[in-house]
Amino acid sequence: MGLVMKGIVAVLFITVSCAPAGAQFNVDLTIKPTLAITDDPVNFICSHGPVGNLGAVFYTLFRENGEIAAEINVKCMESQVTQTKCIFSDCKHEGTSCNSLVVKDIPARRDTMQSNYYCRVQRVSTDYDQTDGDSPIVRLTVGDKTPPIETFRILNKKTNQEIADKTELEAGTPTNVLCQTQPASPEPAFVVSITGKENRTNQTVGHKIEFEEAVPREPTVVYTCEAFNGFGERRTRTITLLATYKAIASEVTVPSETPIQTESDITICSARNNPSERLSITEIDRALLQEGYPKYSETPGLSTAVVRLSSKAAEIKDAKLEFVCKMGNEVLARASVALVSTNSAMMTAGIVIAAILAFVIIAAGIAYALKRRSAAPKPASDKAGYGRVNQNDAPAAQSRRVLTEAKMEELPSTFV
């Protein structure tokens, strides 16, 4: 019985160790493109490692669920290709050989082709050894080309009328914005930008985006709608509105202080409005200004008043430029601007820089000291425990006192 068992073990060992030498080879599956637009051609290419002396190769293209999509056999010596199965319409396998499987120009269909695929290669050598290999899984996604934007309109909610491109409209007017395409699969995602700022996005709801938005206070308001579902090209449309708005006090800019400079202009008041109207500066000490100032300018969306200081302004200590900034009869701002000498400004900047440098130096010194402290070796405590101050100060003091008293007893009486 013992001899029989030993014989079985030996047979099993021999069987396991005699696998064919060519058992290991790589299989690669390429799908072009992996993101396919409906009806565009798709190619499947399944290649494997060095061929060697093969008698036949059996290719099987699987879906991930195990369904066979294509099955093609090749007799290498005769260069004979036989297709035994293909679920694709108009299945072409020209170019298939013992080196690779080629199934090409298959019209993409979302309902029948979108899936995960892998390829299995069974190789039979001329001496009838068979080896198998599977490729990694590759995803094929099929979708409709992103459809054109069918409707892009802005509705004036006050009048319930559509606003034409390049229309003048009062800022703050409530509007309804709609951007819509034809249905597609997958549905496109929308992004609507207003004057360069991404305002609204929609990733899930149908083939449109719709929202309400007041016209912003900008001279030119550009609405852009972009639709894209990942297939084909992005689709965009643009509508431009020309917003009109009056200047308001909350959007008027006046400096709190300004350096005293006589060689360049200083902006003392600016206001956002469109169309731009001229500002006026009143109740100002003109002795502090050079002749011909204040001066005014208007650009789309902005009105500005500037001054240039006289030499007298530099002579007055703690001088202030007080004035009223108006547009028409409306007072936009009453201002008092401190005039700071250039030397004072430079001194202030120097003090700030010096303070920052001092802080940096102190912080660096503290960090260096902490680093040295943490790196320094700690003293080892002896058996008597004299390294521990709290516990050993009293015994040490007692010892010193006894020693001193003994020495005092040895001194001559004249010293006592």
Q: pLDDT-derived band of residue 350, with 50, 70 and 90 as boundaries?
A: low
Mean pLDDT is lowest, of 27-41, 162-176, 204-218, 280-294, for 204-218
Q: What is the band of 12 on the pLDDT scale with cuts at 50, 70, 90?
A: very low
Confidence (pTM):
0.67
Whether the predicted pLDDT of 410 surpasses 60:
no
User: Under 8 Å CB-to-CB from 140, ≥6 apart: which residues?
Assistant: 31, 34, 36, 42, 113, 114, 115, 116, 117
Predicted confidence (pLDDT) at residue 343 exceeds the cutoff of 80:
no
Provide the pLDDT for residue 397: 47
Q: Is the pLDDT of residue 154 over 70?
A: yes
Average of pLDDT values for 256-268? 94
Position 351 scores a pLDDT of 64
Cβ atoms of 48 and 96 closer than 8 Å: no
Whether the Cβ atoms of residue 93 and residue 101 lie closer than 8 Å to each other: yes
pLDDT of 414 > 50? The answer is no
Q: Is pLDDT of 199 > 60?
A: yes
The architecture of the domain spanning 249-342 is Sandwich (2.60)
How far, in Å, CA of 375 to CA of 244, rounded? Answer: 69
Cβ neighbours of residue 344 closer than 8 Å, sequence gap 6 or more: none
Give pLDDT, residue 334: 96
Write b or e for each residue in 138-167: b if 16 or more Cβ atoms lie within 10 A of its Cβ, otherwise e.
Answer: bebbbbbebbebeebbbbbeeeeeebeeee
Q: Where do the CATH 2.60.40.10 domains begin and end in the chain?
A: 21-143, 149-244
Residue 183 has pLDDT above 70, yes or no: yes
- For residue 337, the surrounding DSSP H or E stretch is strand 330-340
Average pLDDT, the chain: 83
Confidence bin at 204 (pLDDT 50/70/90): low
Domain 21-143 = CATH 3.40.50.720:
no
Q: Which long-range contacts (CB under 8 A, 24 or more apart) does 286-293 make?
A: 287/312, 288/312, 288/313, 288/316, 288/319, 288/321, 288/339, 289/313, 290/262
State mean pLDDT over 82-90. 87
SS3 at position 344: helix
Q: How confident is the model at residue 127 (pLDDT cuts 50, 70, 90)?
A: confident
Q: How does residue 353 score in pLDDT terms, banded at 50, 70 and 90?
A: confident
Answer with the residue of higher pLDDT: 410 or 355: 355
Is the model's pLDDT at 403 over the cut of 60?
no
Least confidently predicted of 67-76, 144-153, 176-185, 389-398: 389-398
Task: Write down the CATH number for the domain with range 149-244.
Answer: 2.60.40.10
Better-scored residue on pLDDT, 350 or 298: 298
**158-173: average pLDDT:** 97
Q: How confident is the model at residue 68 (pLDDT cuts 50, 70, 90)?
A: very high
Q: Is the pLDDT of residue 405 over 70?
A: no
- Res 19 pLDDT > 70: no
Indicate the residue type of 380: A
Q: Bigger pLDDT: 168 or 204?
A: 168
Q: Is the pLDDT of residue 11 over 60?
A: no
pLDDT at 10: 36
Cα–Cα distance measured from residue 26 to residue 323, given in angstroms and rounded to the nearest whole number: 84
161 or 19, which is more confident?
A: 161
Q: Is the pLDDT of residue 51 over 60?
A: yes
Residue 39: the pLDDT is 95
Q: What's the angle, vertex CA 206, arms to CA 203 and CA 211, rounded to 5? A: 70
